[in-house]
Amino acid sequence: MANPVKTTCPYCGVGCGVLATRTKEGKIQIAGDPEHPANFGKLCSKGGALAETLDLEDRLLLPEVSCQKVGWSAALQAAADGLSAVREEHGPDAIGFYVSGQLLTEDYYVANKLMKGFIGSGNIDTNSRLCMSSSVAGHKRAFGSDTVPGNYEDWDQADLVVLVGSNAAWCHPILFQRLRHARETRGAKLVVIDPRRTASCDSADLHLALKPGTDVRLFNGLLAHLAAQDCQDSNFVARHTHGMADALASARADAPDIAHLAQACGLSLKDITAFFDLFATTEKTLTVYSQGVNQSSQGTDKVNAILNCHLYTGRIGRPGMGPFSITGQPNAMGGREVGGLANTLAAHMEFDDVSRDRLSRFWDTKTVASAPGLKAIDMFRAVHEGKIRAIWIMGTNPAASLPDATFVRDALEKCDLVIVSDVMENTDTLKYAHIAFPARAWGEKDGTVTNSERRISRQRAFLPAPGDARPDWWIISQVARRMGFAEAFPYETPADIFREHAALSALENDGRRDFDLSGLKDMDTDSYDALAPVQWPVSPAHPTGRKRLFDDGYFFTDDQRARLIAVSCRPPVHTPDKAYPLILNSGRLRDQWHTMTRTGKASRLNAHQDEPALALHPLDAELYDLGANGFAKVSSRWGTLLVRVQITPDQTPGQVFLPIHWTDSHAARAVTGCLVNPATDPLSGQPELKHTPVKVEKW
Ligand code: SF4
């Protein structure tokens, strides 16, 4: 057997280390990396089945223009000419890039540089908008920066973990195993706050099945309770925060007494009291939150309602405590670092004059975007309206995964120029492509990803590149060169790009910007190849990375104090009514990932659930005359689909659940995105994927 190649799992934001070994027979064996601090050798069902997903069936292996296979030169020139013509005729804002948390940081960096630095528009956004942009907005409001304060050791050390809007047992399984271990060996307590009873509840001491959309009220009630119980860390609040009085006044107005609060949140007085008392009396409390919080028209306020409780008690930046956003995708965090969101610049800089000037000098360009671009939902609206005339989609499948997916398909149908970079040839989005670029897949490409605890890890190639597939950074750089920007895109290796990314983070960084890789900017290529997992910032003050931020009480606001934010509960944008009386929630299954292009290849993963199914409570099944394993027609104001029925007491009456994985390219066509409403959070732009009014009928 050859020496194992150390790489990182391509699925969730836990970012587990993986060992890939080629056997004498030429097969690839996959195992967990015992030295990686995210997983210490463990892998979940998806990671453990990676070796079964490496075949080339359905791979896109040659560039195409107008559905004709062509050489690279012709395809790259067609893309460059098309983008340049749109820019010339309609201006830079007539171009959009929609990218992905599946891209490596180096790919992301180059895409962002081309759009924001040289095309000259802010119009690059990412499917991470659907994943954690509410956390980003909440972090920035409270901390002055998009910083996750803690690390995974906090999961081992907490005495109480509050899991909000997350089925970590299925969606972040290796982290959840750490929680279970802490519970079994140390007696740590687990509270799950989720409208559904999920697998995570099996290990919980308390499950609060709160009414959808009432999270802000619940955490406002908690803040008021903490004040009533005299749990304020007065020293921390006085020295390191602002806004406490206003936040507390809002909390008290939202939740004047616990009995009414319980009723408003659909909870029993006993359960809500038990939760509040546990939180109030447990110093080492970690509040972990994910898509149930973020994917909401009030996602940012929900995040800040949680952060308020930690700032009020001073439980942040210390072992075993703090708020903890867990990201869905393997590189959602890396994308944030390089400006993959339309409203930020590279290296966590904002669209202010100082940052724009810094970028202009660093990139030697006069065309740095002057304003934030369009966020995902608005970007596809602009395509539909003809304001964006050319869109380049990389490593994601918006025709299936965005809300109101039928509208997105219409938009792509109308668009003058659709360029798609992907590894698969049969995605729903690729059908609309005028130009298709075959990208290299996991195992074939090199670069870095950043996981939910700010840890940068290497993804390393261990397979030969198939066909004419190329790394995304190479494809983007080649198009950039043909658009006339050759000097700015000279990269030969991902190490060249990483060094530039690190140098930019260090430029004029006096410690007032959280993202700092100055300690890595002079790495030679051998050191980059050998880079061990490390948590940013990596700077002279923290040469081996930094486990926790805010341990010194200093934040990244102008006055270095955190902000408690006054928030009030408001209902979701679209509420159930007579025509659409049920609330549709959407999410992941344990053994599938996104639109199943990789996990769908592994038969053992398909065995867990081999087709989409609408989960609903027995009372609703009776009300709508639906039998187990029968079929239902599910309709919303945005679309209709037919799907099998799964009756389960885990659902609350009045609420139904659909998985997000199946698309038109699967035998069981069921594009959940076609049902989902496109309402967004006004601050983060994150869509309300967890709350769409629907009706169900027997079919
Ligand atoms: Fe991969 Fe996430 Fe499973 Fe780890 S927990 S093996 S990163 S899918």
364-404 pLDDT per residue, tens:
999 999 999 999 999 999 999 999 999 999 999 999 999 99
DSSP one-letter code for 119: I
The atom number, within ligand 1, closest to the CA of 47 reads: 6
- In the chain, where the domains are located: 5-53, 64-129+344-442+465-491, 133-326+559-563, 582-698
Same fold: 64-129+344-442+465-491 with 133-326+559-563? no
Query: Does the pLDDT of residue 1 top 90, yes or no?
Result: no
* 44 in contact with ligand 1, CB cutoff 6 A: yes
Is the predicted pLDDT of residue 516 greater than 90, yes or no?
Answer: yes
* ipTM (interface predicted TM): 1.00
Give the integer Cα–Cα distance in Å for 342 and 147.
18
Ligand 1, atom 3: nearest CA belongs to which residue? 44
Separation of 36 CA from ligand 1 center, angstroms?
Answer: 12
Q: What percent of the chain has pLDDT over 70?
A: 100
Write out the CATH class of domain 5-53. mainly beta
How far is the centre of ligand 1, averaged over its atoms, from the C-alpha of 150 (Å)?
A: 19
Task: Ligand 1, residue 12: give the atom nearest the CA.
Answer: 2
How do residues 59-109 score in pLDDT, each as one tens digit? 999 999 999 999 999 999 999 999 999 999 999 999 999 999 999 999 999
Is 605 touching ligand 1 by the criterion CB < 6 Å? no
Contact of 324 with 150, CB cutoff 8 Å? yes
Q: Whose CA is nearest to atom 2 of ligand 1?
A: 12
Atom of ligand 1 nearest to the CA of 15: 7
Cα 116 to Cα 110: distance, rounded to the nearest angstrom: 10
pLDDT tens readout for residues 481-495: 999 999 999 999 999
Secondary structure (DSSP) of 571-603: --SS---SSS-EEEEEE--TT--TTSTTGGG-H
pTM equals 0.97
Q: How much is the average pLDDT of 449-473?
A: 97
Distance (angstroms) between ligand 1 centre and the Cα of 64 equals 33
**For the residues 314-327, what does the mean pLDDT come to?**
97
**Residue 260 pLDDT class (50, 70, 90 cuts):** very high
Does residue 666 have a pLDDT over 80? no
**Does position 510 have pLDDT exceeding 90, yes or no?**
no
Q: Which of the following CATH numbers is that of domain 64-129+344-442+465-491: 3.60.15.10, 3.30.1330.40, 2.102.10.10, 3.40.50.740? A: 3.40.50.740
pLDDT digits (tens, 9 = 90+) for 587-633: 999 999 998 989 999 999 998 998 999 999 999 999 999 998 899 99
Q: Which atom of ligand 1 is nearest to the CA of 172?
A: 5
pLDDT for the residue numbered 407: 98
| In CATH, 582-698 is 2.40.40.20 | yes
| Nearest residue to 391 (alpha-carbon basis) of 439, 345, 334, 434 | 434
Q: Which CATH architecture has domain 133-326+559-563?
A: 3-Layer(aba) Sandwich (3.40)
For ligand 1, the distance from its centroid to the CA atom of residue 309, given in whole angstroms, is 30
* Cis peptide bond N-terminal to 34, omega within 30: no
Task: State how far the Cα of 496 lies from the Cα of 523, in Å rounded to an integer.
Answer: 10
- pLDDT at residue 665, rounded to an integer: 78
CA gap 691, 95 in Å, rounded: 31
